[in-house]
């Protein structure tokens, strides 16, 4: 028998991907989305937007109180963010694998952060992308960035 058409395979997961302001500023949005699509994931929603302090406080609540928290929020407010919902089986783990380690200096070549990122000597790690880290985070974050989808 022939394999099922990709379009009728069950879709197990969605994840929130953000191209952070450094990625948008450097003109890497297309390259980053290209990698997501080339991997085989589907773009379900894409929106260029300005984050707000309220949105970021909710999004990064787990990091409140850490030394990099305020620099992180300020960085995320420094320019537009490309918010994306990507879909596919195991896309949560799959996108984090595409993104690479948090620190772009040690992120493996072949990953978004490893190929395109570096240490800029700043208080916050500017590492081009965010990706949800669990199904719970994905549901919560998609609800924050795309309330109309839930």
Mark the binding-site residues, compressed into ranges.
Answer: 20, 68, 96, 102, 113, 127
3-state secondary structure at position 90: coil
127 contributes a contact to ligand IDP by CB under 6 A: yes
Compute the least distance from the CB of residue 133 to ligand IDP, in Å: 6
Residue list 97-116, contact with ligand IDP (CB under 6 A): 102
**For ligand IDP, which is the closer residue by CB, 41 or 126?**
126
- The answer to whether 123 and 108 have CB atoms below 8 angstroms apart is no
Question: Among residues 125, 138, 142, 146, which is the contact residue for ligand IDP, using CB under 6 A?
Answer: 125
**For ligand IDP, which is the closer residue by CB, 91 or 125?**
125
CA within 13 Å, CB half, 105: 5
Kindly give, in sequence order, each residue whose CB lies less than 8 Å from that of residue 20, ignoring residues fewer than 6 positions away. Answer: 75, 76, 81, 126, 127, 128, 129, 130
130 contributes a contact to ligand IDP by CB under 6 A: yes
Query: Which residues are marked as active site?
Result: 130
């Amino acid at each position: 028998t022939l394999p099922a058409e990709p379009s009728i395979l069950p879709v197990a997961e969605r994840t929130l991907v953000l191209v952070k302001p450094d990625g948008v500023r450097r003109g890497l949005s297309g390259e980053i989305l290209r990698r997501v699509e080339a991997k085989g994931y589907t773009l379900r929603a894409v929106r260029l937007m300005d984050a707000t302090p309220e949105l970021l406080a909710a999004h990064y609540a787990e990091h409140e109180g850490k030394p990099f928290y305020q620099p992180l929020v300020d960085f995320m407010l420094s320019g537009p963010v490309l918010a994306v919902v990507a879909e596919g089986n195991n896309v949560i783990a799959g996108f984090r694998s595409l993104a690479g380690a948090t620190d772009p200096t040690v992120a493996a070549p072949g990953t978004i952060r490893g190929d395109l990122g570096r240490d800029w000597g700043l208080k916050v790690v500017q590492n081009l992308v965010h990706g949800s880290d669990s199904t719970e985070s994905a549901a919560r974050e998609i609800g924050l960035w795309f309330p109309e989808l839930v």
